Amino acid sequence: MPRTKADARTILSNVDIPTLEALERKILWLSSWMIHNANHVRESRDGLKVGGHQSSCASAATLLTALYLHSLRPEDRVAVKPHAAPVFHAIQYLLGRQDLAKLQDFRALGGAQSYPSRTKDTDDVDFSTGSVGLGVGATLFGAMVRDYVHHHGLAEGRPNGRLVALMGDAELDEGNVFEALLEGWKHDVRNLWWVIDYNRQSLDGVVHDYLFQRIKDFFGTVGWNVVELKYGKLQEAAFQRPGGDALRKWIDECPNQLYSALTFQGGDAWRNHLAADIGDVAGIKALLDDHDDAALHRLMTNLGGHDMSATLEAFADVGDDDTPQCFVAYTIKGFNTPLAGHKDNHSGLMNIEQMTSFKESHAIRDGHEWDVAEGLDLSEDTLKAFLADVPFAQRPARETSPKIPVAALPAPAGARMSTQEAFGQILNDLGRGDSELASRIVTTTPDVTVTTNMAGWVNQRGLFHHEDTADVFREEQVPSAFKWSAGPKGQHIELGIAENNLFLLLAALGLSDKLFGARLLPVGALYDPFIARGLDSLNYACYQDARFMAVATPSGITLAPEGGAHQSINSPLIGLSQPGLTSFEPAYADELAHIMGWGFEHMQADNGGSIYLRLSTLAIDQPKRDFATIADDVLAGAYWLREPAPGAELAIAYTGVIAPEAIAAHEALLEDIPGAGLLAVTSADRLYRDWQAATRAHVNGPGVAPSHIERLLGRLAPDAGLVTVLDGHPATLTWLGGVARHDIAALGVENFGQSGDLPDLYRTHGIDADAILDGAAAVITRRMRRRGALRPTAA
Ligand SMILES: Cc1ncc(C[n+]2csc(CCOP(=O)(O)OP(=O)(O)O)c2C)c(N)n1
Ligand SMILES: [Mg+2]
SS3 715: coil
The finding on whether 552 has its CB within 6 A of some atom of ligand 1 is no
The finding on whether 199 has its CB within 6 A of some atom of ligand 1 is yes
Q: Which residues of the chain have pLDDT under 50?
A: 795
Quick one: pLDDT at residue 770? 98
Give distance in angstroms: CA of 311 to centre of ligand 2.
18
The finding on whether 57 has its CB within 6 A of some atom of ligand 1 is no
Determine whether 395 is exposed, middle or buried from the number of CB atoms within 10 Å of its CB (0-12, 13-18, 19+): middle
Asked whether 609 and 639 are in contact (CB, 8 A), the reply is no
Quick one: pLDDT at residue 206? 67
Quick one: pLDDT at residue 269? 94
The finding on whether 683 has its CB within 6 A of some atom of ligand 1 is no
Q: Where are the alpha helices (DSSP H) in 510-622?
A: 512-516, 535-543, 571-577, 589-602
Residues lying with their CB under 5 A of ligand 2, a single-atom ion: 168-170, 199, 201
Asked whether 149 and 516 are in contact (CB, 8 A), the reply is yes
**Neighbouring C-beta atoms of residue 249, cutoff 10 Å:** 14
List b or e across 100-134, with b for residues whose CB sees 16 or more CB atoms inside 10 angstroms: eebbbbbbeeebbbbbbbbeebebebbbbbbbbbb
The finding on whether 132 has its CB within 6 A of some atom of ligand 1 is yes
Instruction: Tell which residue, 404, 390, 497, has the closest CA to residue 445.
Output: 497
HEC secondary structure over 612-640: EEECCCCCEECCCCCHHHCHHHHHHCEEE
Give distance in angstroms: CA of 692 to centre of ligand 2.
43
The finding on whether 75 has its CB within 6 A of some atom of ligand 1 is no
Quick one: pLDDT at residue 1? 62
pTM of the model: 0.96
Gap between the Cα atoms of 460 and 463, Å rounded:
10
Quick one: pLDDT at residue 642? 98
Q: What are the DSSP calls for 484-517, one per residue?
A: --EETT--EEEE-S-HHHHHHHHHHHTTHHHHHS
Quick one: pLDDT at residue 209? 66
**Neighbouring C-beta atoms of residue 48, cutoff 10 Å:** 8
Q: Do strands 610-614 and 620-621 pair parallel, antiparallel, or not at all (unpaired)?
A: unpaired
How are the residues of the chain apportioned to helix, strand and coil, as percentages rounded to the nearest 5? Answer: 45, 15, 40
Quick one: pLDDT at residue 721? 97
